[in-house]
Structures are given as structure tokens and as C-alpha cells.
Amino acid sequence: MGRGGEVEADRSSRPGIGGSATRLLAEGLVLLAPEETVFEAMLTGWQAQQRSRTLAGATIERRSQIVRRFAEFTGEYPWRWTPADVEEWTAEMVGRGIAHSTIRNYQMATSLFCGFLADARYRWHEVCERYFGEHPVQVFHEWNTVIHRSEYEGRPGNRPLSREELQAFFDYCDARVGQVGASGRKGWLAAFRDATMFKVIYAWGLRRREASMLDTVDWSGNAAAAEFGRYGAVSVRYGKALKGGPPRRRTVLTTMGWAAESVAEWIEELRPLYAPTGTALWPTERRARVSSDALSHRFAEYRDAIGLDRNLGPHCLRHSYATHLLEDGFDHLFVQQQLGHSWGSTTAIYTSVGADYKNKALRRALDRAFQPETD
């Protein structure tokens, strides 16, 4: 589709939020090529909205090109797109052998664009009704987009550990502290530090860098869970950034009392033995901070020692956290927010609940449905 028509240049007198139709197309403006002009104005508005979220220019341009490809595929403009177009586009990409993850990314980018157009605050429905007698809607839904390919879709090295495997791993971590201490060798404090670090990664569902960059001041109490004391929540300051954006912050609430006790013991009793000069939660003998790579190397050492799959990395602890919370009855949205995921479908990749959990969930639902009424 070509570019044509005129988009008003003076924005100073236009009402509306950034990216809105009223900032880009003045009411009553005569367009020489209305369909192409409105489409280009929509893309311009969406790009402005994404810039306001501090996304990188390359990311914005890449997403815009995906939207253009979808428009070219359908031969229609956004206000005429339908869910059937999405299904045909997906089928065409599958037929060409496009990777599952790539299709997901294409769908997500175009879905974000449709969501922007369908948001009444941006008033694109008014422009489309005025010029074309139609308005754009969201055409990407759970039932016509890529979500799951299998029960566990993630990388094999990130699969959740069973509870038995996890217990064996933590048992080895603790035993290692005792072994090094009993041998009289230097390093028992580092072994204790590493054991606690792995427990924190699991018990708060953290990524490697998120855990590595924690400070002692990142912990705080949670009035809704006073039983955890000053370790009721942790502030994650170096969360995974959206493409082109800064690190995302989030607060992760404590759900496991034993983990809060482990952190308390480390911070209050053992960490001071390092005589740290800063606030790094995981200091080294040289008063540096344990790096993500060092964390991975130590995990691999312990993994191999107990015979776990050599493909497994520390990220599997985060996946285990998500799976185990769901199996324990926590709400899916709660787990999603704890992990810092923008999309529920991402959380779904992380989890692989067992048959026992599914049967228990079925039993609870049936018991509720057929519970006799009481006066």
C-alpha cells in the first residue's frame, strides 16, 4: 500500500493524548487518498504511543513493518480486518515453515496495533466511522492465535523440576556447606551463600540477573503477610526489559515461609562475615558481586553432582516456581504478576503441571458443582 493524502502539520491546537486521531487528523479535513492517509496516520500514532513507552526506534520500526505485512497479506485496511484474516495469515506462515516463536511475535505485534486502534481514548473509531462507516476492532484472540504447541513448550533446559528433583538439589546445596566446613577448607561461607541464592531464585521466581543484582535493602515487609517479617516482599530492580526499553521493576511477594527464614539467616547472621563494604546481597571475598555467569557455573556443578539433565540451567528454578505455585492453588494472574510477565501466554510456557494436579483441580470443581445446598 502506498502513502498519500495530507496529514495536518500543526499539532499545537489539537486535543487528545499522544497518538490519538485528533492529534493527527483534523476533523473536517478533506483527504485526497483517505484510506491510505488514515492508515499511515494510524501507524504514526501507534509509533508515537510506543515511543512514549521508551521503546527503541528499531523495535518500533520492526513492529510497524510486521503490521504492513499483515495489511498487504489481507489486501484490506485495519477497519476491515477480521479474525478469519488472522487464521489465514497464520496458516500461510505455517505453510512456509516459519518458526513457532516467530509466528507468535508477528501475532503479538499486530495484536498490539489492533488494541491501540480499538482503544476509545485514541478515537480512531470516530475517524473511521466518519470516513468509511466502519471502525477497527481487535481481531487477535486466544482462540485464533498461537499459544501452546505442547504441554511444556519452553526450552528443554528450562523445564520445571519435579518436587523430588528440587528437594534433591537443595539437599545437595545444604550438604555441600557441611562437607566444605567439615573438611576445614576455605569456602564454606561461599557454599552457604550459593545455597541461599538458589533458594531465593526458586522461592521468588527470579531470573539470573535479577537475583545477582539484589541488594539487602530490596527486602521489605508486607502488611498482608506479617508472618514473614521484614522479608515479606522483594523489590526487583533489574527485571527483563522489553525490547529497546529500560529494566523493568516489580515487587515479588513472599509465598514460602522457609525461604524467608533462609534469607533472614543469611542477611542477619552470615553475610556480615564477608565484611562487605556495600549492599550487594551476594558479596564475594573480593567484595564484588556474584555474577550471573558464576551463578550458572555453580548451578551446573551441583546439577551434575546429583545427576540431573545436563541441559538444565538455573532458569529451570524460575519455571519450577511458577509450576509449583499453580499446583498449590495460586491464581494464574497472581503467578503471572509475580513473574513479571505482560502476557498470560508467556506464563503458560513456563508451567507444566502434573496429572495429579489436574485430577485434584477436577475433583475440587466437581465437589463444588455437586455440593448439596444447605438452608
Residue positions annotated with a catalytic role: 207, 243, 315, 318, 341, 350
- In angstroms, the CA 130 to CA 136 distance is 12
| Cβ atoms of residues 306 and 172 within 8 Å | yes
Distances (CA, A) of 98 to 93, 141, 157: 5, 20, 23
The three-class DSSP label of residue 219 is strand
Residue 33 is classified by DSSP as S
Cα angle 143, 144, 150 (rounded to 5 degrees) comes to 75
Range 266-299 burial, b when 16+ CB lie within 10 A, else e? bbeeebeebebeeebbbbeeeeebbebebbeebb
The three-class DSSP label of residue 40 is helix
Phi then psi for residue 283, to 5 deg, are -75, 165
Distances (CA, A) of 6 to 24, 36, 45, 177, 319: 10, 10, 15, 71, 51
How far is it between the farthest Cα atoms of the chain? 85
Would you list the DSSP string of 135-163?
-------GGGS---SSSS-S-GGGPPPPH
What's the residue count for the chain? Answer: 375
The alpha-carbon radius of gyration of the chain (Å, integer) is 26
What is the helix (H) or strand (E) element at residue 250, kind and residue range?
A: strand 248-253
The three-class DSSP label of residue 39 is helix
